[in-house]
Structure 1
Amino acid sequence: MKFALHFGNNTFPDPAGAVRLARLAEAAGFDSLFAVDHVVIPDDYQSPYPYAASRRLPGGRATAYPDPLIWLAYVAAATTRLRLMTAVLILPQRHPLVLAKQAATLDRLSGGRFELGIGVGWLREEFAALGVPFERRGRRADEYVAAMRALWREDGARFAGEFVRFEGVSCNPKPVAGRIPIIVGGHTEAAARRAGRLGDGFFPSIGAQVDVMPLLEAARRAAEAAGRDPRAVEMITGCPDALPGSGKDPLAAVEERRRRGIGRIALPVGAFLPDLEESLPRFGERVIRHFAPP
Structure 2
Amino acid sequence: MKLGVIPLCEKAVTTDPVWVEQCVRLLEDSGVESVWMPEHVIMAEDYEPLYEYSDDGRAPVAPTTMMPDPLHWLTFAAAHSDSLCLGTGVLVGPQHSAAILAKRLATLDALSGGRLLTGIGIGWQKEEYQACGVPYAQRGRRLDEMLDAMRTLWRDDPATFSGEFTSFKQVYCDTKPSRPGGVPFLIGGSSEAAARRAGTRGDGYFPYTISPADLATRMETVSASAEACGRDPGTLSLTVWPHSYRPGGTFDLELVRDYAALGTDRLIVAAFESGEHDLDSLRRLVCDYQDRIIARL
Letter of the structure 1 residue corresponding to residue 143 of structure 2: A
Q: Deviations over 1:1-45 (max 9, x none)?
A: 211113x36255222332233222222222111111111123332
1:262 to 261, 264, 270: 264
Q: Deviations over 1:199-220 (max 9, x none)?
A: 0000112x34893332122111
Seen in structure 2, the aligned counterparts of structure 1 residues 255 and 37 have a Cα distance that, compared at 3 Å, is same
The answer (yes or no) to whether the contact 1:117–1:184 under 8 Å persists in 2 is yes
Matches within 5 A, 1:151-170: 151-170=153-172
Seen in structure 2, the aligned counterparts of structure 1 residues 76 and 52 have a Cα distance that, compared at 3 Å, is farther
Letter of the structure 1 residue corresponding to residue 3 of structure 2: F
Distance apart, 1:287 and its partner CA: 4.2
1:228 aligns with 2:234: no
**Structure 2 unmatched ranges of 5 or more:** none
Distance apart, 1:257 and its partner CA: 2.9
Q: Which residue of the partner structure matches residue 13 of structure 1?
A: 14
Q: Which residue of the partner structure matches residue 218 of structure 1?
A: 221
Matches within 5 A, 1:48-197: 48-178=50-180, 179-197=182-200
TM-score by length of 2: 0.88
CA distance in 1 between counterparts of 2:250 and 2:282 reads 19
Distance apart, 1:290 and its partner CA: 5.9
Seen in structure 2, the aligned counterparts of structure 1 residues 181 and 43 have a Cα distance that, compared at 3 Å, is same
1:46 to 48, 54, 57: 48
The answer (yes or no) to whether the contact 1:183–1:201 under 8 Å persists in 2 is yes
CA distance in 1 between counterparts of 2:192 and 2:252 reads 31
The answer (yes or no) to whether the contact 1:29–1:284 under 8 Å persists in 2 is no
Q: Secondary structure at the match of 1:265?
A: strand
Q: Deviations over 1:105-163 (max 9, x none)?
A: 11011110001111112111111122101112111111101111111113211111111
Deviates more, 1:270-279 or 1:106-115: 270-279
Letter of the structure 1 residue corresponding to residue 106 of structure 2: A
Report the aligned-residue RMSD.
2.5
The answer (yes or no) to whether the contact 1:9–1:68 under 8 Å persists in 2 is no
Q: Which residue of the partner structure matches residue 2 of structure 2?
A: 2
The answer (yes or no) to whether the contact 1:105–1:175 under 8 Å persists in 2 is yes
**Structure 1 unmatched ranges of 5 or more:** none
TM-score by length of 1: 0.89
How high is the sequence identity, in percent, across the aligned residues? 39
Q: Which has the higher contact order (CA 8 A, sep 6+)?
A: 1
CA distance in 1 between counterparts of 2:261 and 2:47 reads 40
